[in-house]
Amino acid sequence: MLSITNILRCQRPITKQISVRILIRNWHKEAIPVVWEKPEKGWTKLNFDGSSKGKANKASIGGVFRNHKAEFILGYAESIGRANSTIAELAALRRGLELVLENGWNDVWLEGDAKTLIDIITKRRQVKSSEVQRHISDINLIILELDNCLVTHVYREGNRAADKFAQIGHHMKKPGIWRNVPPDELLAIMKEDAEGKTVLRLR
């Protein structure tokens, strides 16, 4: 007859195997593959992002424009003072659209990782905040000037380049613009996006 100690010793591997199986099952269930997608030929794609940090709501914005070959066209980043994350996201998109007009791009794909914001714009939802509504109204007016405009949501894992520019913005004393050549911090991400690297998102 097995002793209590031996019984418990025999049970440990079984419990461990069950835990591993549960972990593997959850991994397959929850992992979402995310890929940055190139725009069609003739289109320019903007990925934008806003960032707000700490209790002081120190905010910054950033964005990156690429063509159908995933080639870097232009990037921007700047600190915008105090603002919550929603205002930062809106400011990032608005600044990106201003650059769209300045550069004469007419077929533009706009993509960000703030789903609520994307829904507000694409579904014409009303908001209570007058500041938010002012930004949205300005954004919609600019969009109306474009020949073709696509607005989509992507998970943060597919918006890494814009996020990096927004993080750079936190450390800038004045607005920055990069043309044709991205900052060194972006090179690895740009290469992975161009190659179609899949990044797994865990819920």
Once rounded to an integer, what is the mean pLDDT over residues 78-103? 97
- The string of pLDDT tens digits covering residues 139-190 is 999 999 999 999 999 999 999 999 999 999 999 999 999 999 999 999 999 9
Is the sign of the CA dihedral 66, 67, 68, 69 positive or negative? negative
The two beta strands, 44-53 and 148-153, are: unpaired
Rounded CA separation 75/166 (Å): 10
For the cut 60, the answer to whether the pLDDT of residue 16 exceeds it is: no
C-alpha closest to that of 83 among 75, 97, 94, 74: 94
- The string of pLDDT tens digits covering residues 120-136 is 999 888 899 999 999 99
SS3 label, residue 197: coil
SS3 label, residue 147: coil
Q: Which of 9-23, 91-105, 165-179 has the lowest mean pLDDT?
A: 9-23
Q: 79 near 60, Cβ under 8 Å?
A: yes
Q: Which two tokens stand for residue 43?
A: 């289109």
Give me the pLDDT at residue 8, please: 40
For the cut 60, the answer to whether the pLDDT of residue 56 exceeds it is: yes
Q: Which two tokens stand for residue 75?
A: 């990037």
Angle between helices 187-194 and 160-169 (to 10 degrees): 160
Give me the pLDDT at residue 3, please: 45
Q: Which residues contact 80 (CB under 8 A, 6 or more apart)?
A: 59, 60, 61, 88, 91, 169
Once rounded to an integer, what is the mean pLDDT over residues 37-56? 96
pTM: 0.84
For the cut 60, the answer to whether the pLDDT of residue 15 exceeds it is: no
State the pLDDT confidence band at 17, using cuts at 50, 70 and 90.
low
Helix or strand run (H / E) with residue 9: helix 4-30
- The string of pLDDT tens digits covering residues 107-123 is 999 999 999 999 999 98
CA atoms within 13 A on the CB side of 47: 28
Q: 101 near 109, Cβ under 8 Å?
A: no
- The string of pLDDT tens digits covering residues 18-41 is 555 555 555 556 789 999 999 999
Which ranges in 123-180 belong to alpha helices (H)? Answer: 130-144, 160-169
